[in-house]
Amino acid sequence: MAFNFEDNKKDAVVLLNAVAQELNTDDMNQAGRVFRAVLQSIRDRLPVNEAVHFAAQLPIIWKGIYFDQYEPDKVPITIRDAQAWLDYIRSKNAFAANNDFQQDEEIAHAFRAVFNTLQKYISEGQLQQVKQALHQDIQEMLEV
């Protein structure tokens, strides 16, 4: 089977465009920064096996971004309240923190937007496992 870079690029762009649409932005760089920060935050909250199963459903380019700077021996991180979760997402990307995440509501919106997008691309069972790995305060942010 041939490895087709163009197909992999197209799959990654489709997902990025879906995130941008959910964020209501035409700025693909912003959508990419936000998506990366939220994806990597979710990754760090999951036990290693669940993180790998989750990543298996992402387009190959997003898998690379997802696992960039991953430290399996330091996960899952413990975050039990919404504010700590927002601060953690903000910490994942300094440029996003200064430009995209100036207010907590912007981060909460980004988290919901990414999760809503993932619901269209990740199996329901896998996404439910991700949601269950999040503390109740964080899960409630998705229900707004």
Each residue of 45-64: pLDDT tens digit? 999 999 999 999 999 999 99
Overall number of domains in the chain: 1
Residue 120 belongs to domain spanning: 7-141
Which token pair is 101? 């995440």
Supply the CATH number for residue 121's domain: 1.10.490.110
Q: Is residue 1 part of a domain?
A: no
Residue 2 lies in a domain: no
> Which pLDDT does position 93 carry in this prediction?
87
24-33, 99-108, 122-131 — most confident range: 24-33
Q: Is the pLDDT of residue 1 over 80?
A: no
Q: What is the dihedral sign for C-alpha 20, 52, 70, 46? A: positive
Dmax (CA) for the chain in angstroms is: 47
Does 120 map to a domain? yes
Q: Which two tokens stand for residue 140?
A: 């409630």
pLDDT tens digits, 70-126 = 999 999 999 989 999 999 999 998 888 888 888 999 999 999 999 999 999 999 999
Q: Evaluate whether residue 108 is within a structural domain.
A: yes
Helix axes 104-121, 5-23, angle to 10 degrees: 130
